[in-house]
């Protein structure tokens, strides 16, 4: 009896200290895989096709048909403008930023790109040859009747 009591007391102390709470099962989360598992995200193949892509719907920011990793965009510099600003585009053989990019916050016409359009890759991304993450039935709006 005494032995049993000592054992019970010891277990109670161990439980309070968290000793013995050895995790025998893998941790799981509601989302499934163990939070400790290594997650490998494979590199998506960026396409460098040079030709402009079709838009999937009218308001879509066109996808970028060239690589962009060498073009700096920060608070002061925006190298995209070296080719796409209206003042140089023809010379560079690049499409001009559409005129919506020169509209100020209050609708005023500007000669330099609007601050709201400064960070180009907020809206434009290079196309990647990536499988869809979730199965879906997306169709370009031109194909939807
Ligand atoms: C060295 C010049 C150059 C630079 C710098 C450049 N581009 Fe381009 N970009 C081009 C050319 C040329 C095309 C058109 C390709 C064609 O028509 O086949 C193009 C096409 C695009 C298009 C497609 C437009 C459409 O209507 O389909 C987008 C979007 C674009 N660029 C965004 C960017 C962004 C964002 C940056 C900066 C991260 C950038 N570009 C930097 C030359 C450049
Ligand atoms: C807030 C989102 C947004 C930002 C930021 C933005 N764009 Fe766009 N861009 C669009 C949308 C939407 C279109 C297509 C509709 C339109 O022409 O306004 C477009 C169109 C374009 C086109 C195609 C023009 C044409 O007539 O074919 C080019 C080139 C382009 N953007 C380049 C850029 C560059 C370079 C920057 C950065 C200086 C930039 N955009 C910033 C949303 C954006």
| pLDDT band at residue 20 under the 50/70/90 scheme | very low
The closest residue, in CA terms, to atom 3 on ligand 1 is: 83
| Tokens encoding 13 | 């102390």
What pLDDT, on a 0 to 100 scale, did the predictor assign at position 59?
Answer: 93
Quick check: 41 pLDDT over 70? no
Average pLDDT for 7-23: 51
Quote the CA–CA distance of 67 and 73 in Å, as a whole number. Answer: 14
| Residue whose CB lies within 8 A of the most ligand 2 atoms, among 87, 98, 125, 141, for a mutation test | 98
Proximal ligand: closest to the CA of 98:
2
Average pLDDT for 70-89: 96
Verify whether ligand 2 is closer than 6 Å to residue 71 (CB atom): no
The full set of domain ranges for the chain reads: 45-130
Quote the CA–CA distance of 61 and 84 in Å, as a whole number. Answer: 14
Please give the model's pTM, rounded to 2 decimal places: 0.79
| Rg from Cα positions in the chain | 28
CATH 3.40.50.920 fits 45-130, yes or no: no
Quick check: 69 pLDDT over 60? yes
């Amino acid at each position: 009896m005494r032995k049993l009591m000592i054992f019970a007391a010891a277990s109670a102390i161990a439980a309070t200290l968290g000793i013995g709470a050895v995790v025998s099962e893998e941790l799981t989360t509601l989302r499934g895989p163990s939070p400790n598992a290594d997650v490998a995200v494979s590199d998506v193949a960026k396409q460098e096709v040079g030709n402009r892509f079709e838009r999937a719907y009218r308001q879509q920011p066109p996808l970028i048909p060239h690589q962009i990793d060498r073009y700096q965009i920060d608070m002061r510099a925006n190298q995209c403008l070296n080719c796409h600003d209206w003042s140089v585009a023809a010379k560079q053989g690049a499409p001009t930023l559409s005129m919506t990019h020169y509209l100020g916050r209050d609708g005023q016409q500007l000669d330099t790109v609007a601050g709201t359009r400064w960070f180009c890759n907020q809206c434009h991304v290079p196309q990647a040859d990536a499988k869809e993450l979730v199965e879906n039935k997306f169709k370009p709006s031109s194909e939807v009747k």
